[in-house]
Every structure is written in structure tokens, then in C-alpha cells.
Structure 1
Amino acid sequence: MLQIIHGKHANDQALMEAIWRYRHRRFVEELGWEAIRRVDERERDAYDTSRTIHLVLTHRHSIIGYSRLLPTTFPHLLSEVYPEIMEGKRYPCGPRVFEWGRCAAEKKAPRIDNVAAVDLLMTGVLEFLVLVGAEAVIIEAHPKLVEMMKGRGYPIRHLCKPALYNGETMVAAAVYPSATVLQHHRLAYGITQSLLPPNLQWRLNGIRDLPVDHHPIWKDSTRGTG
């Protein structure tokens, strides 16, 4: 099941401690993100606030996947850490646009109902985005990861050219979730039940796609100067 923890309601200290340590192990120890290493081996940063949404995939009381959503109406990584890769260009932001990051599944997790943990995590996050009516999510990642998202059926718009950041190639992209993409995920990976908590599952029923302009001007919902 996917647990959804809003920062302002993060009252389960044991679970939050497990999240920080999981993030340290996956992103620092295994992926080598030395820039975010902390001596206490608890990976958290200035963007883990009361507004942060933590999406935690658990199995038998262990974390097997994690993603973080940041509201783009407040400081986030593309606005504060990576703004130079945009070269002043505008990008989507607004109350229904999130920044999606810190996404990783446990490599050694067992398949659950013959579905890999990474596919459960990605589908669960997508369920949540459809549930809350997200118009888009922005990601900053290696171009290969952006292509992976495209391969999963997401409509994607590149927001900038690939750029070097601390020696790594990075690109920003807008990803457009929808009920159609969710249905594709469920069929592609054989997921027959919702991953959301039971009290939220019923709200997915009857959700239909609304027309979305994947190349909007974004008018007031933009950052940047271009």
C-alpha cells in the first residue's frame, strides 16, 4: 500500500525516521549523491516542510519505495537549486503543479502479486496525482530517466536543453498525469487494485480525463522570465 504523508501531519516519528534513513541509503550510499550526505545518515533537506507530500510504498512494515512531491507555489529545487538550467525560460507552476523527486524503489524488494516494487511505486504516485487533479509535475533528471517516463506512457514536454550540473547531465521536463495514463499503467503491469489507502480509493471512481493543453502559455502560473 502507498502511504500518503503530508508534512504538516507527519506525526509518526518512527515512520519519518525510517523515511530519512531509507533516503540516505538509497540516494547517498547506493546512488552516490554525496552532496546531500549528512553525518547523522538521515537524508532530509530544507524542502521537507509542512507542505511536502511524502509517498511511501510499504510491504510487511518495511519501506520498499518512496517519492516526494513539492508544491511549486513555494520554493522547490528547480526554483532554488537548479534555476540556471532553465536559462530564464518559463516553466509550469501553480496550485495543481508539483515537483516530483527523490523517487526510488528498493532494488531487492520481492515482487508483490508478481509486480515489481518500482512499478507499484510509479503507479501509486500516478494514482495520487490523478486523485488530486494534478495538471502536471516537473522533474529534473538525466535524459534517460525522462525517456523512461515517456516509455511508461506519459505525455512529456522538455522544458530546457540538457545541461551539466555538478558534472552530471540533467534536463527539466513537464510530465502530464491523467486517468488514461493510469489505466495504461494498470494494464501494462497487471495491477488490479488501487494502491491508495482505502479511505481515498473511492474518490478515483468516475474520474475522467479533462482536456489538457500540453503546450500552454502558463500565463500567471509560471516561473522564469522568458
Structure 2
Amino acid sequence: MIEIVTMRHAAEMEEAYNLRHEVFVEEKGWGDLARPDRREIDQFDNADAVHMICKRDGKVVGYQRMLPTTKPHLLSTVLSTLCEVDRPIGPHIWEWTRYCVSKSHRERGRKLSPVANELLSGIVEWGLATGVDRIVIEMEPIWLLRLVQLNFMVTPLGIPRQIDEEDVVAVIAKFDRRTLEMLQLMRGNTDQVLVTPDRVTQTGRDHLWEAHHA
């Protein structure tokens, strides 16, 4: 199941920051993000962010962060050179960042693990409930085809560029109920993955209201 947590959920957020450090610093080698306390945290971990976590046996094993494009985010600041067209912006467009799954809960090859499927399904369920239907992603180009196979409608925003010895491309990916149906088909059930749907919907509505009135 996927939970939306806030800065008030201190224990879950600490686990999430540790998982991010494990994946992005220790595995990927993003040395600029290294911290002695093993907490990967940046300027976008603020009140505007929506944090989603996946747990197994009470432990955080999956994480992703959504940032409103109506506020400062990675593509508008740190990675602006990846965008060669008019930058996508609007209350219905959010940026998907810091997606990570614990090494112990990954599948080999390109197959989506149950945790990865839940995280992606969580985005789509949250979006359908809140009026968000597009996500901006900075990712390795190899993921383009994978997203298309999952019924995301993907449009590159520029050509790939090398960042920290990895090729990275910025895209905007539109999704709808067909995307959710494909993810459900892949995991073999139509169960909702997001918990406490009332809080999820209200969280999204609050952010959308703030975006409209910024």
C-alpha cells in the first residue's frame, strides 16, 4: 500500500531520507548529496512536496516525491537545461522525483516489482482523485519505452544530456484511467493501493487550491 506522509510523520520521513541516501548516494554515486547522517534531503523537501511511501513489514521500502510545477522544482531550477521547449507548468502538472525502491524489493531486468507497481499506481490514483493528469520526469532514456508500454503518453522536452555520468532526458508523461488499468493488469488485481483516500484527495485539493491562488 502507498501512504502519503508529511513532515509531521517524522519516523517515516527519516526512513525515506535514509532510503534515498542508500539509492542515490551509495548506489548511484551522487557524491554531492552525501551526508554523514545518511539523510538525502534537499531544498525541495518543503511544505509544497507530496511524499509517498511504500512499506513492507512496517519498513519503508519504496519512496517517491511529487512537486508542483507552479512552485520551484528541479526542472525549473537545477535541471533547467534539460528543457528545450516551453516549460510545462500548471496545477494539473506535477514533477515526479526521487523515485526509489530498496534493493531487496526489486526485480531483475525491466520487470516492475510489486513495490514499483504500487508506487506508479499511487501516482495515477492520486492524480485521478485530484485533477493531476501529467507528470514531468527527468530520467534515463531507456525508461521512455517502458512508460509507453504502461500506457503513459510520453513527450520528450529536449535531447538527453549527461549528468553525473548518466544520460538524462526530461519528459512530460500524460496518464488516464487506461494507465491505471494497465498497472492493475500487470499486478493481477484492481485493488486501490492508496490508503486513506479522503486524506489523499484533500491533500491534492489543498495543493491545487494553493497553485491556483499563488
Alignment match, 1:90: 86
Give the number of equivalent residue pairs: 196
What stretches of structure 2 of length at least 5 have no aligned partner? 108-112, 202-214
RMSD over aligned CA atoms reads: 2.1
User: Equivalent residues in 2 for 1:1-226 (5 A)?
Assistant: 1-6=1-6, 10-87=7-84, 89-109=85-105, 116-200=114-198
2:211 corresponds in structure 1 to none
CA distance in structure 2 between the aligned counterparts of 1:5 and 1:127, rounded to whole angstroms:
16
CA distance in 1, matches of 2:31, 2:38: 11
* Contact kept in structure 2, 1:194 and 1:201, CA below 8 Å: no
Structure 1's unaligned 5+ residue stretches are 204-226
User: In structure 2, how many angstroms separate the alpha carbons of the residues matched to 1:85 and 1:109?
Assistant: 31
Distance 2:198 2:56 in 1: 19
- CA distance in structure 2 between the partners assigned to 1:75 and 1:157 by the alignment: 21
Secondary structure at 1:50 match in 2: coil
Deviation readout 1:124-175 (Å, 9 max, x if unpaired): 2221122211131100111012222122221111111112234321111001
CA contact (8 A) 2:19 2:100 kept: no
Question: Could you tell me whether the CA contact under 8 Å between 2:124 and 2:175 is conserved in 1?
Answer: yes
Percent of aligned positions that are identical: 30
Normalization by structure 2: what TM-score?
A: 0.84
Question: Post-superposition, which runs of at least 4 consecutive aligned residues in structure 1 deviate over 6 A?
Answer: none
Alignment partner of 1:22: what SS? helix
